[in-house]
């Protein structure tokens, strides 16, 4: 095996060998973790891409490109670990307020990566059985992104190892407002239908039983995140402890973990630490959940 290329970089075979070695190492560690209670859903607030770029004097939005690679590695680690749902906060509605050049860079990056995944026979998503779902207010996105996102959802719909939800043009407040509006419209349509039936003397709608009232389960059905169970763990990078309008409705019983590492520098060890933390707090969180009921 040659270790270096003529240009002085690391050779392909050496890279493959190192990846296999790290895979075996992860396999051992993950099998130890699997003795404890396992999280079903891990969500990530990918903070610190710009600072990472600045610290390394990277040009343009290259910090975001590094952030995308870190996300793909995290998808692989979570697959190997047997996690069933992961969610990534990729672009909040507030991020549209950033400079137009940066917004354009991130959108172009997303489009490029989605198109790349769609064009490859042996894509990462098909190799690891990743189903991709986009959550958020898609109306705020440009047509090419909307269209590419839809095509990726269709192309990966039959993958069943793990669901990767990418929150795009998302904020919790927008999600809640949208869910309440949709539930209200649905309820209104139901009431109108029932009133027209009751004119023919068959009444199925009883306001005294609360048929006119919006119910929690009805609102939750209309949430963008209805596709996944509530997250067990929310990981935020770059030392921030805020949720920044992410999964506010769904995080009542989540274990929140903050790392000082910037997102592109996140590693498998951070994931291991987060799962250990969850396992340590799991019985307490479960007890809390039962009390709420
Ligand atoms: C937050 O870091 C990160 C973003 C606003 C964009 C993240 C987007 C990606 C990683 C691309 C994902 C692409 C796909 C297809 C899923 P920041 O810019 O707020 O960093 P800072 O805190 O240092 O300013």
- What separation in angstroms does the CA of 150 have from each of 115, 154, 266? 11, 6, 29
CA distance linking residue 120 with residue 272, whole number of Å = 31
pLDDT of 132 above 60:
yes
pTM of the model: 0.90
CA distance linking residue 88 with residue 110, whole number of Å = 13
CA of 265 to the centre of ligand 1 (A): 13
pLDDT tens column, 196-220: 776 665 555 566 666 778 899 999 9
CA distance linking residue 173 with residue 88, whole number of Å = 17
Any idea where the domains of the chain sit in the sequence? Answer: 36-170+232-239+251-293, 173-229
pLDDT tens column, 90-127: 999 999 999 999 999 999 999 999 999 999 888 999 99
CATH class of the 36-170+232-239+251-293 domain in this structure: alpha beta
Residues annotated as catalytic are 47
Question: Which residues does a 6 A CB cutoff place in the pocket of ligand 1?
Answer: 46-51, 64, 67-68, 71, 90-91, 95, 106, 109-110, 113-114, 166, 238
The protein residue with its alpha carbon nearest to ligand 1, atom 7, reads 90
Closest CA to 77 of 234, 267, 289: 267
pLDDT of 2 above 60:
no
CA distance linking residue 68 with residue 266, whole number of Å = 11
């Amino acid at each position: 095996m040659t270790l270096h290329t003529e240009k002085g970089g690391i050779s392909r075979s050496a890279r493959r060998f190192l990846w296999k070695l790290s895979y075996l190492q992860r396999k051992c560690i993950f099998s130890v973790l699997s003795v404890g209670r396992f999280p079903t859903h891990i969500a990530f607030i990918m903070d610190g891409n710009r600072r990472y770029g600045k610290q390394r004097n990277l040009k343009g939005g290259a910090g975001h490109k590094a952030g995308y690679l870190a996300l793909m590695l995290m998808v692989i680690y979570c697959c190997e670990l047997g996690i069933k749902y992961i969610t990534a906060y990729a672009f909040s509605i507030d991020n549209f307020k950033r400079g137009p050049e940066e917004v354009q860079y991130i959108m172009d990056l997303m489009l490029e990566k989605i198109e790349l995944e769609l064009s490859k026979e042996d894509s990462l998503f098909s190799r690891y059985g990743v189903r991709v779902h986009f959550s958020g207010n898609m109306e705020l996105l440009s047509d090419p992104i909307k269209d590419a996102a839809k095509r990726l959802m269709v192309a990966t719909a039959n993958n069943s190892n793990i669901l990767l939800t990418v929150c795009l043009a998302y904020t919790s407040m927008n999600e809640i407002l949208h869910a309440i509006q949709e539930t209200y419209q649905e309820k209104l349509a139901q009431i109108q239908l029932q009133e027209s039936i009751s004119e023919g003397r068959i009444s199925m709608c009883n306001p005294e039983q609360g048929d006119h009232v919006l119910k929690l389960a009805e609102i939750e059905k209309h949430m963008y995140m209805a596709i996944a169970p509530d997250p067990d763990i929310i990981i935020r990078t770059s030392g921030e402890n805020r949720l920044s309008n992410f999964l506010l409705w769904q995080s009542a019983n989540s274990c929140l973990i903050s790392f000082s590492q910037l997102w592109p520098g996140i590693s498998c060890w951070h994931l291991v630490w987060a799962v250990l933390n969850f396992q340590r707090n799991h019985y307490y969180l479960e007890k809390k959940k039962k009390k709420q009921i």
